[in-house]
Each structure stands twice: as structure tokens, then as C-alpha cells.
Amino acid sequence: MHRGSNQLQLADFNQAVVLDAIRSTPGVSRAGVQRASGLSSQTISNITRRLIDDRLIRESSPGAGARGRPSIPLTVNPDGAFSVGVHIDPARLTIVLLDLSGKVRRKQQLRTPQATNPTEVTTLLADQAASLVRRAGVDRDRVLGLGLAAPGPLDVQAGVVLDPPQLPNWRNVQLRSDLHEATNLPVLLDKDVTAAATAELRSSRGTATDFVFLYLGSGVGAAVVADNQVLRGTTNNIGEIGDIIVDPNAEPLDGFSRRGGLAAACVPEALVIQAARLGLLPLPDLNDYLAIDDSCTELCTLASSGHGGAARILARAARGVAVGLGVLVNLLDVPRVIVGGPLWNRLSETFLPVLPRLVTQELVATHDGLVVQGSAVGEHVAAQGAAELIMDHFLAPRHSALMVG
């Protein structure tokens, strides 16, 4: 597979510029690429010829009704390149196969094996990735690499998962090199929230250029998109918001260092502890993220079916999330908040009807019509974003993250 990736490597910066123009504007003509890139028409002619020969782009027939010499629309060849995206949440593993047109061709969700060595997870992921590629029937030589989204803090430079509070067995795991060895694919590691915001930005196609992405999974985090750029932070660990105090009157919760913090207000572990305290559910094993996740699902089902106590727990969580979002919107002055992640499908029914009003109550400046919306991508948003980071790494004019392999 590694050989294939080398074959696909773009020859030069100009080639990346041209491919990028065609990726971002499907159907663009050579003249359009020239306007967008500033390259000479001869250069563009040579490069598009090479990209067609490499099967990365293709020509369509010109639209009817064009006057004069018809310009030939250029689009990427969806089968020209693929990337695998993996999202590791302590409770759920999500794997997607993305094609060059940005479409998710296959996706899969698994329960994250608990209480195991990280190596077992690496092996599982490598097997699943290979099987996904095989079942999709795509040319393995066309798979550029594997992007990995994981909870922070990460050492993105070294490809290491440092000591994420949500992955207690994962201390200083050389995730990037381990997974590279297991798959023989180039591997890129990035933070879950950054990957998720990347996918959300891409899928919004220009309608959302400045927003905060709130990630709700086994943990809580945020990403910031300003002027069409996903901010990364200096150490690529942007978005640690779990300690923001949102509920000063909250009781202390075991396992949460910050009383009344955002994490203690809304992550599944906190919600099931609260439910157990009220006798709604038995307390699950708090070292088992699967058990927590299942309990949380049960709590959300209870609330959904009209159980008052369960509904009150989620309503309080929504208020906490709103206070946290108020901090982010007041600080960053964004017009839009997008909420997503593995927990979101279970909370959106309770949260979406109340969040816009609750967040607006928190705002200092007038933000007429602050938009609060659920992810347009869905639960696999971080996995898709990780796959998109691979595409960008190999095909875009600027490299977005570090890579081995």
C-alpha cells in the first residue's frame, strides 16, 4: 500500500494548486483554474493532462448552450484517491473510507474494547481499516493514508497520545507509529475536535465560515473556526473546555476535578452518576466507558419517554452546556455554534429546542440570530474530518499536520 501512496504523491506545488482548485470548485474550466491560481495557461494545460493521466481528475462534456468555444468542466475522479478516517472515542470507534470527491463511501462504528492494551486497539483498527477498503472494492494503491482523531492532550508533533483524561490506559501511546506499522499506511494523528471541525467546515460549503464546534462524546471539547480556518493552537491541543465553571452550585462528583465544570455538567459519566444518585439507574462500572455509554443511552431513552427525573438531569446538562457556549460565544464573537460528536444524537432531542434561547441569555453583546445547530455531518464527523486531513496533507498546497510513513 505504501508504494501506491508514493505513486500518488503530487509532483510539485503547482500540481497541488491546480488539483485544489478543481477539488474546491467541481466543474471548473481550465480558464477558471487559471483565474484562481494565477498560473499560465500552458502550465495548467500540462498539469491537467498529467492529473488526467494519473486518473485524479477527469473531463466532463461541456454544458449545452455555452456560447463560443465551449469550456470543458473538470472534476476530480472520485476513485482517484481514498483515505481512511478513524475516530477513537473511549466508548466508540468510528472508521470511514472517503473518496477524492469528499464522499464517505463506507462507514462503520464499533464499541471500543475496554480494559485492554492500546496495542489491541491498534490491531483491531488496522484489521477494520483493511476490511473496509477490501469490502469497498477500491484499489488499495489509491489509499493515501489513514487519519486518526483522538481525544487530547496529544503530542501531534510526535504522534503520541499523552494522557487523555478519557482514555485512562492510554498514557504516552505512540499511536501514530504503531498504527503505521500495523497498516503500512501513512498515518496522521490529530485531535478529535479539530478533525470534527474540519469536516463540518468542508460540508458547510461556505455557509459556515466562523463557528465554534462543540464536541460531545465520552468527553467534551471545542474547536474554533475563524474566517474559514480551523484554529489548531500552538501545540494542536485547542479546545480543552471541560474545566469551565458552568454550574457553581453543583455538587462535587467523584472523578471530576472541577466542581461545577462543563465536563461534570454534561459528559456521560457525570450524567449517569447523577442518575444513579437519584436512583434512576444502577451505577455502572466507572472504569468501563462502554458500560457508562450504555447507561447514558438508557438515561436518554428514559428522558425521551417522559420520565421526569431523567428529563431534569438532561435539562440541567443543557443549561450547563449553554453557560459554556456563552463563554465561547462572548469570547470569540462567532455567529454560529455547531454541536456534534458520538453523544449528540442522544441529546439533540432535549438540547436543540432550548439551547438557542439559553445561550442567547448568556450573551453580553447583541448577537442577533445566533445560530445553534446540530452537526450536518453526523456522528462520524470526527472520522470524516480525519480522512479529510489526509486528503489535504497529500493533495492540498499546504500541509496541515505532521505525518509518518
Q: How far is the CB of 365 from its own copies (least distance, A)?
A: 4
Q: Which is nearer to its own copies, 137 or 248 (CB)?
A: 248
- Give the cell for residue 271: 450524567
Q: How far is the CB of 167 from its own copies (least distance, A)?
A: 14
> Which of positions 121-140 make contact with its own copies (CB under 8 A)?
none
Task: Confirm or reject binding of residue 364 to its own copies (CB under 8 A).
Answer: yes
Q: How far is the CB of 333 from its own copies (least distance, A)?
A: 2
3 state SS of 281: coil
CA dist 215 and 344 (Å) reads: 8
With helix as H, strand as E and coil as C, how does 107-134 read?
Answer: EEEEECCCCCCHHHHHHHHHHHHHHHHH
CA dist 35 and 26 (Å) reads: 15
Q: How far is the CB of 45 from its own copies (least distance, A)?
A: 22
Q: How far is the CB of 329 from its own copies (least distance, A)?
A: 9
Region near its own copies per CB under 8 A, out of 78-86, 119-127, 175-183, 364-372? 364-372
Secondary structure element (H or E) that encloses residue 211, with its range: strand 211-216
Q: What single-letter DSSP state applies at residue 80?
A: G
> Which of positions 277-336 make contact with its own copies (CB under 8 A)?
323, 326-328, 330-335
Q: How far is the CB of 59 from its own copies (least distance, A)?
A: 31
Q: Which of 226, 276, 286, 402 binds its own copies (CB under 8 A)?
A: 226
Q: Which is nearer to its own copies, 162 or 311 (CB)?
A: 162
Residues 314/317/318/323 CA torsion (nearest 10 deg): 170
Task: Confirm or reject binding of residue 36 to its own copies (CB under 8 A).
Answer: no
Q: How far is the CB of 226 from its own copies (least distance, A)?
A: 6
8 A C-beta contact, residue 395 and residue 359: no
Q: How far is the CB of 148 from its own copies (least distance, A)?
A: 18
Question: What residues contact residue 203 under an 8 Å CB cut-off, 6+ apart?
Answer: 376, 377
CA dist 160 and 72 (Å) reads: 46
Q: Which is nearer to its own copies, 186 or 341 (CB)?
A: 341
Question: What residues contact residue 272 under an 8 Å CB cut-off, 6+ apart?
Answer: 281, 283, 284, 292, 295, 296, 299
Q: Which of 22, 148, 173, 224 binds its own copies (CB under 8 A)?
A: 224
Question: What's the burial of 245, exposed, middle or buried (CB within 10 Å: 0-12/13-18/19+)?
Answer: middle
8 A C-beta contact, residue 175 and residue 160: yes
Q: Which of 99, 362, 388, 392 binds its own copies (CB under 8 A)?
A: 362
8 A C-beta contact, residue 292 and residue 342: no
Q: How far is the CB of 195 from its own copies (least distance, A)?
A: 15
> Which of positions 367-396 make contact with its own copies (CB under 8 A)?
367
Q: Which is nearer to its own copies, 51 or 238 (CB)?
A: 238
Q: Which is nearer to its own copies, 221 or 405 (CB)?
A: 221
Q: Which is nearer to its own copies, 55 or 259 (CB)?
A: 259
> Which of positions 62-81 make contact with its own copies (CB under 8 A)?
none
Task: Confirm or reject binding of residue 90 to its own copies (CB under 8 A).
Answer: no
Longest dimension (CA), the chain: 76
CA dist 33 and 353 (Å) reads: 44
Task: Confirm or reject binding of residue 152 to its own copies (CB under 8 A).
Answer: yes
Q: Which of 165, 268, 341, 405 binds its own copies (CB under 8 A)?
A: 165
Region near its own copies per CB under 8 A, out of 60-68, 125-133, 226-234, 293-301? 226-234
Count of residues that interact with its own copies, criterion CB under 8 A = 43
- Give the cell for residue 251: 455538587
Q: Which is nearer to its own copies, 98 or 328 (CB)?
A: 328
Give the x/- contact pattern for its own copies in 230-259, rule: CB under 8 A.
Answer: -xxxxxxxxxxxxxxxx-xx---------x
Amino acid of residue 195:
A
Q: How far is the CB of 381 from its own copies (least distance, A)?
A: 20
Burial 179-193 (b: 16+ CB within 10 A, else e): bbebbebbbbbbbbb
Q: What single-letter DSSP state applies at residue 254?
A: T
- Contact positions toward its own copies, by CB under 8 A? 152-153, 162, 165, 210, 222, 224, 226, 231-246, 248-249, 259-260, 323, 326-328, 330-335, 362, 364-367
